[in-house]
């Protein structure tokens, strides 16, 4: 199915504009395609003016929470005599999210250029890119790009004769979703176990090594050079008033052409599905996530809700990382919730009670329901557990874990009841057996 003119008109290739050019990851190619022109322009400006520019552009963080980027930079205390750091969050672990990795693979220099400009603006002389541990290929690509940039004088001392000095360190994470949470990331970067830190103090004043630190998502930082080149007004020409700019939507699931579609914020699912070649044959949209598993799922009734921060909040969910996962009538929402909770249980850092224990519990209850051994009370228990988890946990991970359960029961209570009341065949035999040694002990006790 070819997308209509109208849908195609929603595409705004800005960050993805080089993605189809061969070898765009090489410096010469990047330079031929406007690369590092924004850096020259930025270095000629006063750092404060850059912060003001990003504020004016209305850029909001692309890592999930949508925090205004310029405002975040503005929190960094200036002339405090402490070193400042930029930390780029390239941990990309949210289920369904897959935009940062291709960007780093295809266009790593745009991230490096953004990091240099940002560091200059916040007066950092050392920047880290914390790359998800499994993404060795991306880390290599970045390392290569850093070497190229240094050789060309974009990194090092006296960058392009401006007197500005910067080093970029590529750091490979140790493989935990929680290390994407910014304070856990900082602990991990410092060599500790990745667990979120108590806030306040916030990273803006006590971040890496207790120094002022900006943590931004890959896409956020990669957007910066375009704002410097195009200006705030140009940027605001895309997206909506409160959610301006282009955004990479990662469409996956039951569509014909899953992939990255860069549109102005506020595109709808209907348009995205069209851009992605429509639903697969024989599949009908059933439920979907607007921005990864931590964002409550929506259904076909939300096909025309704009995918921007405000409209998603109004629909009772979140824009998140714009990881649009499309599920069809052939997918079971209860099973999806179960798999997600398996993920949250596996990845919970264990620090706080509701998340550590709540996911452990919900996973078993969901499995019991899918095994045909659930009860009506289990549904209430699940909802009540979510209530006791949401907003009670130490970090936002716990809130994210409540999302799939709450939203799936909200929209698909009937499916749950079908399992409980025996109208759906069980997906599993019985609950997982007890550990072998426990079984022996019990047997021993019985004897």
Partner 1 sequence: MTALDTPTDEVTLTIDGVEVTAPKGALIIRVAEKLGIEIPRFCDHPLLAPVGACRQCLVDVEGQRKPITSCTTPIADGMVVRTHLTSEVARKAQQGIMEFLLINHPLDCPVCDKGGECPLQNQAMSTGAAESRFQDVKRTYPKPINLSTQVLLDRERCVQCARCTRFSEEIAGDPFIELMDRTSDEQVNVYREEMFGGEPGPAGSHSDLGSEPLRSYFSGNTIQICPVGALTSAQYRFRSRPFDLVSTPSVCEHCAAGCAQRTDHRRGKVMRRLAGDDPAVNEEWDCDKGRFGFRYVTAFDRITEPMVRDPQTGALRAAAWSEALAVAAEGLRRARDSSGGVGVLTGGRLTVEDAYAYSKFARIALRTNDVDFRARPLSTEEADFLAAAVAGRQGPTYAEVEQASAVVLAGLEPEEECPILFLRMRKAYRKRALAVHALAPFRTTGYEKLGATVLPCAPGSEATLLAGDASLAAALSQPGAVLVVGERLGGAPGGLSAAVALAERTGARLAWVPRRAGERGALEAGCLPHLLPGGRPVTEPRARAELAGAWGLEAGVLDSRPGRDTGAILAAATAGDLGALVVAGVDPADLSDARAAEQALDAVPFLVSLELRNSAVARRADVVLPVAPTVEKAGSFLTWEGRLRPFEAVLATGAMTDARILDALASQLGVQLNTRDVPAVRAELAALPATDSPRHPPPQVAPAPPPVPADGQAVLATWHQLVDLGTLQDGDDELAGTARPSVVRLGKELATRLGVGDGDPVTVGTGTGALTLPVEVVDMVDAVVWLPTNSPGATVRRSLGAAAGALVSVSVSVSVPVSASVFVSVSPGGSR
Read off the tokens for 313.
């909040």
Q: ∠85-87-89 over CA atoms, to 5°?
A: 170
Q: How far is CA 370 from CA 325, 339, 416, in A?
A: 22, 11, 8
For 47, 112, 185, 371, 372, the CA distances from 203, given in Å and listed in that order, are 20, 21, 11, 45, 47
95 binds ligand SF4 (CB under 6 A): no
Alpha-carbon gap, residue 442 to 373, rounded angstroms: 22
Q: Mark 138-167 with x for binding to ligand SF4 (rule: CB under 6 A) and - for no binding.
A: ------------------------------
**Nearest of 330, 247, 316 to residue 282 by alpha carbon:** 330
Choosing from 288, 394, 411, 416, the residue that interacts with partner 1 (CB under 8 A) is: 394
Hey, what are 400's tokens? 């994210």
Residues listed for the chain = 447
| Minimum CB distance to ligand FMN, residue 280 (Å) | 28
- Smallest distance from ligand FMN to CB 188, Å: 12
Helices 37-44 & 218-236, crossing angle to 10 degrees? 70
Residues whose CB falls within 8 Å of the CB of residue 264, separated by 6 or more in sequence, listed in order: 10, 12, 238, 239, 240, 245, 246, 247
The verdict on 285 binding partner 1 (CB under 8 A) reads: no
Binding range to partner 1, per CB under 8 A, among 66-74, 153-161, 227-235, 429-437: 429-437
Q: Output the smallest distance, CB 171 to ligand SF4, in A.
A: 20
Contact flag: residue 394 with ligand SF4 (CB under 6 A): yes
Q: DSSP 3-state assignment of 83?
A: coil
**Among 22, 79, 163, 437, contact with partner 1 (rule: CB under 8 A):** 437
Q: Using CB distances below 5 to 8 A depending on partner kind, what does residue 404 bind out of partner 1, ligand FMN, ligand SF4, none? A: none
Query: Coil, helix or strand for 118?
Result: helix
Using the rule CB under 8 A, which residue among 358, 374, 400, 404 binds partner 1? 358
Point out which residues bind ligand FMN (CB under 6 A). 61-65, 67, 89, 91-94, 177-178, 180-182, 215-217, 220, 395-397
Does residue 356 bind ligand SF4 (CB under 6 A)? yes
HSE-CB at 233 with a 13 A cutoff on CA atoms is 0
Are the CB atoms for 101 and 26 separated by under 8 Å? no
Smallest distance, Å, CB 323 to ligand SF4?
Answer: 19
186 binds ligand SF4 (CB under 6 A): no
Q: Does 70 bind ligand SF4 (CB under 6 A)?
A: no
Q: Which stretch binds ligand SF4 (CB under 6 A): 110-118, 168-176, 346-354, 366-374?
A: 346-354
The site map against partner 1 for 183-222 (x = CB under 8 A) is ----------x----x------------------------
CB 355 within 8 A of CB 393: yes
CB of 343 to ligand FMN, least distance (A): 11
User: Which of ligand FMN, partner 1, ligand SF4, none lies near 391, with the C-beta cut-off 5 to 8 A by kind?
Assistant: partner 1
Q: Which residues pair with 246 in a beta bridge?
A: 264
Tokens linked to 421:
């009341």
For residue 62, give both structure tokens: 């692309």
The reply on whether position 185 binds ligand SF4 by CB under 6 A is no
- Give how many residues touch ligand SF4 by CB under 6 A: 14
Secondary structure class of 153 (helix, strand, coil): coil
Residue 123 makes contact with ligand SF4 by CB under 6 A: no
Show the binding pattern over residues 372-391: x = contacts partner 1 (CB under 8 A), - = does not: -----x---x--xx-xxx-x
Q: Supply the minimum distance, in Å, between the C-beta of residue 349 and ligand SF4.
A: 3
Beta carbon of residue 233, minimum distance to partner 1 (angstroms, whole number): 35
Q: Which two tokens stand for residue 182?
A: 């910014």
Query: Shortest approach of ligand SF4 to residue 290 CB, angstroms?
Result: 21
Please identify, using beta-carbon distances, which residue of 305 and 402 lies nearer to ligand SF4.
402
Selected from 128, 154, 338, 397, the binder of ligand SF4 by CB under 6 A is 397
Cα–Cα distance, 237 to 264 (Å, whole number):
9
* 403 belongs to the binding site for ligand SF4 (CB under 6 A): no
Closest to 267 (Cα-Cα) out of 306, 211, 303: 306
CA atoms lying within 13 Å on the CB side of residue 343: 23
Per-residue b/e over 148-176, b at no fewer than 16 CB within 10 Å? Answer: bbbebebbeeebeeeebebebebbbbeeb
Tell me which residues touch partner 1 (CB under 8 A): 176, 178, 193, 198, 345-354, 356-361, 364-365, 368, 377, 381, 384-385, 387-389, 391-394, 431-432, 434-435, 437-438
Tell me which residues touch ligand SF4 (CB under 6 A): 178, 196, 348-352, 355-356, 393-395, 397-398
């Amino acid at each position: 199915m070819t997308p209509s003119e109208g849908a195609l008109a929603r595409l705004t290739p800005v960050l993805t504009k080089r993605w189809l050019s061969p070898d765009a990851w090489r410096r010469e190619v990047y330079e031929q395609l406007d690369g590092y022109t924004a850096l020259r322009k930025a270095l000629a400006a006063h750092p404060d003016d850059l912060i003001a520019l990003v504020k004016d552009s209305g850029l909001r963080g692309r890592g999930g929470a949508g925090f205004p980027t310029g405002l975040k930079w503005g929190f960094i205390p200036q002339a405090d005599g402490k070193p400042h750091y930029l930390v780029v969050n390239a941990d990309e672990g949210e289920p369904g999210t897959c935009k940062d990795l291709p960007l780093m693979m295809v266009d790593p220099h745009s991230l490096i250029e953004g990091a240099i400009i940002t560091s200059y603006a916040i007066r950092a002389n050392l920047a880290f890119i914390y790359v998800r541990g499994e993404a060795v290929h991306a880390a290599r690509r970045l390392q290569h790009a850093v070497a190229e940039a240094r050789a060309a004088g974009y990194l090092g001392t006296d960058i392009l004769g401006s007197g500005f000095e910067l080093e970029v360190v590529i750091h490979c994470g140790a493989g935990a979703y929680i290390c994407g949470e910014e304070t856990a990331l900082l602990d991990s970067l410092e060599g500790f176990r990745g667990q979120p830190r108590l806030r306040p103090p916030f990273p803006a004043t006590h971040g890496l090594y207790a120094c002022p630190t900006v943590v931004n998502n890959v896409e956020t930082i990669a957007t910066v050079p375009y704002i410097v080149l195009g200006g705030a007004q140009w940027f605001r020409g895309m997206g909506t008033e409160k959610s301006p700019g282009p955004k990479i939507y990662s469409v996956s699931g039951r569509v014909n052409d899953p992939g990255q579609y860069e549109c102005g914020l506020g595109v709808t699912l209907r348009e995205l599905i069209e851009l992605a070649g429509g639903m697969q044959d024989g599949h009908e949209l059933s439920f979907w996530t607007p921005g990864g598993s931590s964002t409550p799922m929506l259904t076909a009734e939300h096909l025309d809700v704009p995918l921007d921060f405000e409209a998603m909040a109004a629909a009772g969910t979140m824009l998140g990382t714009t990881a649009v996962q499309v599920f069809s009538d052939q997918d079971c929402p209860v099973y999806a919730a179960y798999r997600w909770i398996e993920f949250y249980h596996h990845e919970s850092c264990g620090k706080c009670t509701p998340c550590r224990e709540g996911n452990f519990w919900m996973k078993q209850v969901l499995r019991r329901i899918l095994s045909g051994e659930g009860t009506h009370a289990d549904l209430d228990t699940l909802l009540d557990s979510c209530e006791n988890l949401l907003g009670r946990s130490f970090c936002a991970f716990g809130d994210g874990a409540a999302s799939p359960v709450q939203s799936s029961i909200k929209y698909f209570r009937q499916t749950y009841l079908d399992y409980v009341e025996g109208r759906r065949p069980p997906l599993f035999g019985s609950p997982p057996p007890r550990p072998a040694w426990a079984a022996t002990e019990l047997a021993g006790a019985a004897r």
